[in-house]
Amino acid sequence: MTSNSLVLFGSVNRRLNDFRDHLNELFSTPDTPYVPLHMVAPAPDSDTSAHDKPQGEEGEEEPVPWWLSTRQFRRTLAWHIAHQPFGVVAGARQYQHAELALFEGYAGTSASGFAAEVATERAIAQLDYVEDLYRDWNDGHRTSGGAAGRVNAEFDRIRRELGDLPGIIASPTRLRTMLQHLTKTLHPGVLNDCFYQPSTALCAKRAQHTGRPLPLLTMCLTCPNGRRSSVHLPRLTTARAQAQRPLDAPAGLSRLQTAALTTHIAELDHAIAELRTPPKPRRMNDPSALRLRHALEHASVPVRPGVDQAIVHAFERIMSGSPERTNGGLTVTALCIEAGISRATYYRSPLAKTLTGLLQAPDTPRSQDDTLTAEITRLKRADRALRSQHAAEQREMRATIAAYANRIQALSLRNAELEAESAALREHLGQAGGSLTSLR
């Protein structure tokens, strides 16, 4: 340890108390200092004995400024370390605890309520972040990821109930109340936000072997629970540059390292392209959307929040030509993928019968890709019919040829028999001599 580090370490307590005085100068009132005073017993006076003091003065405490030292923050620091990734192990090594359980107990909930205050501030920060995501989406910025359709459908429902217009928030207070439930599953990330659902989380599948979810960077980029917005774009660009740097370095990499980095860069490029692609304008009065609403009203089928709302928004995106997760095919499979649900969940919805009928209706307008797909399907079906007809004709010709071959064989045998009889008759004529006269 150098002399400079010793000086810096020795001045920490003084710097803490200088900061206390700075806070008192800025925020204290004439009657009360900002940092509360500390009651301590007066120091003993060597010139005055205890029996010489006036009655009632012995044991009285005096208010003095609170003296701050680094030891007072040991448990606060332990609590902070314990809540970081792999912090329990690091804290146990730093505090020289023999067992991890000792450090976990040392860094437990403080009786002062500090942990509850931190949890409250964290909940407020989560809600602020979700509100920023909503405002970013309401301003028309691009989003991507497996959970984008589900979260955007929820944002769309909230905007409809609030009566917001794109780029305008009608009631900020009510908006925060309606966004509260999204904070329960939100885990903000550097390259990806996670709206965690155990049934579809890729890290939950790894938990079957490890005992707890262990997300990976490349796994989160393709997870159905991931969502990316404009806030992640500069971070994705930085991550892409960092991944490209080893490939451009003079030192060669192994074949496996090069393949892994190339795959990772391709995934980052795809994520960046999704956020940079301008969104297609959505037609609010699309005839297909109006047709869906009329069909649901005619069938008296209510659209419930959650799955039903996600299905309806996915159908409208597909019909308006602005799908986010599929190629816009008018199939049940594409609709389920666009809505982020399974086929079983779709068929349990009361909307399934009405939507399936609309998807299969011949007069439903279809996109160019869907039309080409249908034409390809029709041509393949016609090709299969021609192949089947050709095979039937070939089977019929083979049967005819086999019948002719059998008949020819039978005639050949009969011809051989007649030739044998003719030869026998000629031989008999030769033996008869002059008793028989030939007619020829």
- Count Cβ atoms below 10 Å from residue 76 Cβ, excluding itself: 15
Confidence of residue 408 (pLDDT cuts 50, 70, 90): very high
Average pLDDT, integer, range 342-349: 84
Q: What is the mean pLDDT of the chain?
A: 77
Residue 107 reports pLDDT greater than 80: no
Query: What is the spatial order of strands in the sheet that 186-187 belongs to?
Result: 186-187, 193-195, 226-227
Q: The tokens 């308006």 sit on which residue? A: 320
Cα–Cα distance, 193 to 32 (Å, whole number) = 44
Determine the Cα–Cα distance for residues 173 and 342; give it in Å rounded to an integer: 35
Task: Pull the structure tokens for residue 153.
Answer: 């459908």
Q: How many Å apart are CA 143 and CA 150, to the nearest integer?
A: 11
What is residue 252's predicted lDDT score, i.e. its pLDDT? Answer: 77
Residues 274 and 271: their CA atoms lie apart, in Å, by 5
Report residue 158's pLDDT band, with 50, 70 and 90 as the boundaries. confident
Using the predicted structure, report yes or no on whether residue 397 has a pLDDT greater than 90: yes
pLDDT at residue 166 greater than cutoff 60? no
Tokens coding 43: 């120091």
Mean pLDDT on 25-50: 73
User: 51-92: per-residue pLDDT in tens?
Assistant: 455 554 555 778 888 888 888 888 777 777 776 767 777 778
Q: How confident is the model at residue 428 (pLDDT cuts 50, 70, 90)?
A: confident
Q: How far, in whole angstroms, is CA 241 from its chain's centroid?
A: 23
For a pLDDT cut of 90, what percent of the chain falls above it? 5
Question: Measuring CA to CA, which residue among 363, 355, 286, 350 is closest to residue 317?
Answer: 286
Residue-wise pLDDT for 347-380, tens only, equals 888 888 887 887 777 666 555 566 677 778 888 9
Residue 88 contacts residue 104 (beta carbons within 8 Å): yes
